């Protein structure tokens, strides 16, 4: 019989369809190879030489031959950095001015690069840009939450090929984040410990779902993964906010992320994916109960009506098998 | 400036990107026409003559020439109707036997039909099957929630063309549903009324987002719609459970659903969509605070990393404009 598993961190339930489960390599066959891409695309606004086409540059990591990573305001920013937070409540209608930040992190000068194939130093440059913008934006008193995320491939929601990720800073705490905090607090009040630390220590003890361990980070597939190859990368040291990241940890996260994304790239034939950094709202800091982490979601299946109607998911893979599969994928170092 | 809107029913926040908003007809151009389909497909398990290929038939609506609608056990059922609810709690790991029901409603004998093009009587036959299975399954003491949903098109998660919808009955209350109940109770305790009834009466007063009204149902685009053309159909009469539906209401829901789906079909060029019936958990009945409804989500945009990372959505359409657009789409009666 299939099994329902509950994710204790999100409280989400997932149906692990054991009998219907596909072998890890069966997911690969559905993934179409990407058409070849040039290293330089003259009409790409993110390619070198077209810097004037992007809006105000907010940060750059410089190299010997110009920039290596640039952060610019999103051309189609959904949030505006000008103006005040004004909240209007009119009966059941509640709205607010969309002040905030919406930025693009241009990850590399080359149009055809992808994180899985970068060097560790190049991934560290991207993380440096993330951290710098995170720390800077956090100071703005209008901001409540900062979300850093990447859409890789059309199925993951991007149409722009040049490697990039995004940062959105919102003037409210999104409900999903608020609820995770509430659950984390509830667990802390009951058990006197961080639910993330507890989960990590259990995973390291059982060792069934670990994908990759480095000095400061552990990548694993959650026990109640909502979809195949859904991955979490947790810092070993308890920290609530992404910008608590120390320099040595940042370098090690680059090693971990790059290795895990390379395993996904080589093992699953470069599927579309999203990743996102889940950090505590900016006003809360260094709590005992919340632990920041990175979540990676390869898009090898589609969300359908059942998920929309219930918020529950059906996962047609076994987390333990998927973890073993990725653990065994050899990647060039 | 863009606007953040909060959905008071779900508490979800959405960014309504006014400046980036596309005109309603601009969404149409991205939708590729579907390849032609035959009325009968000899190797389709849902086509007449292949009844022996589907598992145990649970219900049928009969016509003069055989069945009109059939309900069968899902061939790849994620939930099993045999066995007991057994919950296992092992530290942070929580699981349960996946007992429940997973059924397919075969909506029509013809392989090439779609709800938008059915007659009202044919849609009523489908709703009759929904209601009968809902009422029947509700009696099972192992069941806590029943979700009825449809995936139309590949982008909405189906690969099987023959028109069908699904029912899943779960042995737990999915977290998303539980949270909506909590919000509805909180509103009721504060305001002394059903938040759905209040929303409906406001919408009928303002009349900016109404798409179609019939005797017993009102279709509208929510003020804080998460995605373009996201629709809600609310019963006018307060009722918590889908199977409270009276016969006259069922016929009228068929009129309303068919009209709205035809507006989506003709106005938006037959996009992929999901719909889902949101009903109270089976143990609760006739509450003052929860109101069942139907939600329709045309898949004209994709979920990306921002939505995954925050649970917030960016809607690049104005609900008021989308409603006006659909209101004005003429459909054959």
Q: What are phi and psi of B261, to 5 degrees?
A: -65, -30
Contact pairs from chain A to chain B, CB under 8 Å? 220
Query: A172 vs B199: CB contact, 8 Å cut-off?
Result: no
Q: For B24-43, what is the mean pLDDT?
A: 87
Interstrand relation of B313-315 and B13-16 (parallel, antiparallel or unpaired):
parallel
**Would an 8 Å CB–CB cutoff place A295 in contact with chain B?**
yes
Compute the distance between CA of residue B80 and CA of residue B70 in angstroms, rounded to an integer.
19
Query: B306 vs A83: CB contact, 8 Å cut-off?
Result: no
pTM: 0.94
Query: A157 vs B278: CB contact, 8 Å cut-off?
Result: no
pLDDT-based confidence at residue B220 (cuts at 50, 70, 90):
very high
Q: At A99, which helix (H) or strand (E)?
A: none
Compute the distance between CA of residue B187 and CA of residue B185 in angstroms, rounded to an integer.
5
Query: B170 vs A198: CB contact, 8 Å cut-off?
Result: no
CB distance A274 to B305 below 8 Å: yes
Model confidence at B273: pLDDT above 90: yes
Tokens 């710098």, located at residue: A132
Query: A176 vs B145: CB contact, 8 Å cut-off?
Result: no
In a domain, A71, yes or no: yes
Compute the distance between CA of residue B40 and CA of residue B104 in angstroms, rounded to an integer.
19
Q: What's the pLDDT tens digit per position in B148-205?
A: 999 999 888 887 899 999 999 999 999 999 999 999 999 999 999 999 999 999 999 9
Question: In chain A, what residues touch B17 (CB-CB under 8 Å)?
Answer: 76, 78
Tally of structural domains, chain B: 1
CB distance A310 to B100 below 8 Å: no
Measured at the CA of B273, the angle between CA B267 and CA B279, to 5 degrees, comes to 120
Interstrand relation of A217-220 and B66-73 (parallel, antiparallel or unpaired):
unpaired
Model confidence at B30: pLDDT above 80: no
pLDDT at A33: 84
Structure tokens at A93: 């209608």
Average pLDDT of the residues of chain B: 94
Nearest to B93 among A168, A177, A223 (CB): A223
Compute the distance between CA of residue B232 and CA of residue B224 in angstroms, rounded to an integer.
11
Question: In chain B, what residues touch A302 (CB-CB under 8 Å)?
Answer: 155-157
Q: Which of residues 71-90 of A touch B (CB under 8 A)?
A: 76, 78-80, 82-83
Catalytic residues of A: 164
In a domain, A206, yes or no: yes
Give the contacts of A2 (CB within 8 A, at least 6 positions apart).
A15, A16, A17, A18, A19, A20, B78, B79, B80, B98
Among B13, B158, B274, pick the best mutation site for testing chain A contact (most A Cβ within 10 A). Answer: B13
Instruction: Measure the N-to-C terminal CA separation of chain B; round to a whole number of Å.
Output: 41
pLDDT at A304: 82
Compute the distance between CA of residue B213 and CA of residue B260 in angstroms, rounded to an integer.
10
Of the candidates B268, B319, B315, B262, the one whose C-alpha atom is nearest the C-alpha of residue B26 is: B268
Model confidence at B308: pLDDT above 80: yes
DSSP assignment of B119-182: -HHHHHHHHHHHHHHHHHHHT-TT--EEEEEEEESGGGT----S-EEEEEEESS--HHHHHHHH
CATH code, A178: 3.30.428.10
Of the candidates A133, A157, A156, the one whose C-alpha atom is nearest the C-alpha of residue A143 is: A133
Burial status of residue B134 (CB atoms within 10 A of its CB: 0-12, 13-18, 19 or more): buried
Compute the distance between CA of residue B325 and CA of residue B225 in angstroms, rounded to an integer.
15
pLDDT at B17: 86
pLDDT at B144: 97
Q: For B288-301, what is the mean pLDDT?
A: 95
Nearest to B176 among A76, A156, A311 (CB): A311
Burial status of residue A197 (CB atoms within 10 A of its CB: 0-12, 13-18, 19 or more): middle
For residue A83, give the chain B residue with the closest CA: B1
Q: Report CA torsion sign: A115, A201, A14, B99.
A: positive
CB distance A95 to B5 below 8 Å: yes
Among A1, A2, A3, A4, pick the best mutation site for testing chain B contact (most B Cβ within 10 A). Answer: A4
A25-53 burial, b if ≥16 CB within 10 A, otherwise e?
A: eebeeebeeeeeeeeebeebbbbeeebee
Structure tokens at B113: 């039909």
In a domain, A315, yes or no: yes
Cα–Cα distances in angstroms (integers) from residue B330 to residues A241, B29, B93, B119, B123, in the given order: 53, 19, 53, 16, 19
Q: How far is A175 from chain B (nearest CA, A)?
A: 6
pLDDT at B306: 86
pLDDT-based confidence at residue B332 (cuts at 50, 70, 90):
confident
pLDDT at A252: 98
Q: What's the pLDDT tens digit per position in A101-120?
A: 999 999 999 999 999 999 99
In a domain, B333, yes or no: no
Structure tokens at A270: 């470069």
Compute the distance between CA of residue B169 and CA of residue B145 in angstroms, rounded to an integer.
6
For residue A187, give the chain B residue with the closest CA: B92
In a domain, A333, yes or no: no
In a domain, A308, yes or no: yes
Structure tokens at A256: 């971990």
What residue numbers bound the domain in which B106 lies? Answer: 3-328
pLDDT-flagged residues of chain A (< 50):
none
Catalytic residues of B: 164
Q: What are phi and psi of B150, to 5 degrees?
A: -135, 140
Q: Which of residues 186-245 of B touch A (CB under 8 A)?
A: 195, 198-199, 202, 223
Torsion of CA A192, A193, A195, A198, to 10 degrees: -130
Compute the distance between CA of residue A290 and CA of residue A182 in angstroms, rounded to an integer.
10
pLDDT-based confidence at residue B265 (cuts at 50, 70, 90):
very high
Model confidence at B263: pLDDT above 80: yes
Of the candidates A109, A45, A47, the one whose C-alpha atom is nearest the C-alpha of residue A74 is: A45
Q: What's the pLDDT tens digit per position in A50-75?
A: 999 997 899 999 999 899 999 999 98
pLDDT at B1: 78
Q: How far is B142 from chain A (nearest CA, A)?
A: 14
Q: What are phi and psi of A43, to 5 degrees?
A: -100, 15
For residue B103, give the chain A residue with the closest CA: A306
pLDDT at A88: 95
CB distance B246 to B147 below 8 Å: no
């Amino acid at each position: 019989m299939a099994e329902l598993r509950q994710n204790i961190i999100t409280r989400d339930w997932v149906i692990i369809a054991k009998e219907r489960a596909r072998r890890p390599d069966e997911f690969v066959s559905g993934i179409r190879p990407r058409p070849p891409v040039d290293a330089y695309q003259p009409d790409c606004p993110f390619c070198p030489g077209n810097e004037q086409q992007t809006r105000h540059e907010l940060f750059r990591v410089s190299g010997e031959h110009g920039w290596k990573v640039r952060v610019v305001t999103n051309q189609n920013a959904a949030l505006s950095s000008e103006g005040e937070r004004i909240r209007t409540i009119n009966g059941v209608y509640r709205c607010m001015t969309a002040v905030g930040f919406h930025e693009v992190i241009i990850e590399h000068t080359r149009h055809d690069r992808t994180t899985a194939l970068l060097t560790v130093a190049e991934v560290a440059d991207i993380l440096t840009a993330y951290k710098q913008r995170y720390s800077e934006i956090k100071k703005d008193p209008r901001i409540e939450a900062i979300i850093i995320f990447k859409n890789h491939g059309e199925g993951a929601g991007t149409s722009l090929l040049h490697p990039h990720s995004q940062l959105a800073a919102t003037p409210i705490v999104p409900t999903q984040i608020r609820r995770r905090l509430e659950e984390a607090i509830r667990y802390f009040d009951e058990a006197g410990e961080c639910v993330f630390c507890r989960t990590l220590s259990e995973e390291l003890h059982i060792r069934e779902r670990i994908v990759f361990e480095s000095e400061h980070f552990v990548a694993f597939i959650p026990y109640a993964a909502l979809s195949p190859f859904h991955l979490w990368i947790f810092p070993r040291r308890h920290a609530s906010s992404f910008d608590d990241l120390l320099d040595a940890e940042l370098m090690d996260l680059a090693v971990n992320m790059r290795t895990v994304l390379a395993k996904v790239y080589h093992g699953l034939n470069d599927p579309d994916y999203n990743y996102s950094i889940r950090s505590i709202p900016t006003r809360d800091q260094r709590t005992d109960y919340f632990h920041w982490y990175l979540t990676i979601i390869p898009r090898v299946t589609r969300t359908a009506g059942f998920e929309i109607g219930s918020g529950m998911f059906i996962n047609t893979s076994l987390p333990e098998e998927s973890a073993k599969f990725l653990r065994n994928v050899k990647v060039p170092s």
